Amino acid sequence: MRKKQIGVIVLIVAMMAYLFSLPVKGLIRPKEERTRPGATGGAMQHEEQPTNQIDEDYVAIAAKKLLTPQMAAEISDKEAQLKSAASDQEKLAIAKDLAHTWDDVNVPAPAAFYYLSIARKENKLENWLNAGNHFNDAYKLTQDTVAQPTFLTNAVESFKKAMQLAPDNLDAQTGLGIAYVNGGAPSPMAGISLLLGVVAKDPKNLKANLNLGLFSMKSGQFEKAVQRFKTVVEQKPELEPCFYLAESYKQLGMKPEAIAAYQRCKEMAGDPAFNQKMDEYIKELKN
């Protein structure tokens, strides 16, 4: 399967699943839940999770099913080379090769573990950001509740290490904010605060606005979501923010705007199954 095809499939999976996986109850909690002893707002208790059982081998098993047999065999061969490598330098080189190979086919979870390994060996800002961003993407795409706590724990570690190297780095602050809202902190509001701090310094920040828009949708604040997604689409018209913008317009009853946004999604996607779904949404709005 070609990179572009995998990319479309992965993005569509993300759009249709991620929105409904965000911890709404962690953003708006009833008073009795907020005051109950031990209430965590939906955050995962990582110390109780078997995070040490989730590694690159675990996630690669499922990930290889997205690939052609030839590509899966190529990756398996590189994995075998890594396990038999004699020196740390050789292991590092193969880990970098595997991370880039998984990137080439748009599968973030295995790449995330290799980037984490690289960052722990080469303590550089870029490496920690790569690891954290890939773990956030892996969390966004997966429905594996066993793997999710590990993705969050590793994302938080990566972005905190990045911020130790560059405290004012907005990419690190944004990534940590996303991981916190997803459940990587006792209160998701810690993540919202980080993201709001980013847009206060950089009002057009793409990733911060996109995720603030998503969290606005999940908490029913569709007017705010529209403004966030418009900020993103105006700078970088891509399928994901355009789809969320259409959904927000739909929830607000702004039918012409929603139809136009769905049409734009069709032009961007080029995927028959996805476009058929967009046609269904458009037909529903026109009736």
Residue 266 lies in a domain: no
Domain count for the chain: 1
pLDDT exceeds 90 at position 126 = yes
Residue 13 lies in a domain: yes
Residue 277 lies in a domain: no
Average pLDDT over the chain reads 85
Residue 263 lies in a domain: no
pLDDT digits (tens, 9 = 90+) for 204-243: 999 999 999 998 998 899 999 999 999 999 999 999 899 9
DSSP state of 222: H
Residue 97's pLDDT is 97
Residue 113 lies in a domain: yes
Burial 99-127 (b: 16+ CB within 10 A, else e): bebbbebbbbbbbbbbbbbbbeeeeebeb
Residue 206 lies in a domain: no
Residue 78 lies in a domain: yes
Contact yes or no for 221/194 (Cβ under 8 A)? no
Q: Could you list the residue range(s) of the whole structural domain that residue 123 is in?
A: 1-26+48-166
Q: What is the pTM of this model?
A: 0.83
Residue 243 lies in a domain: no
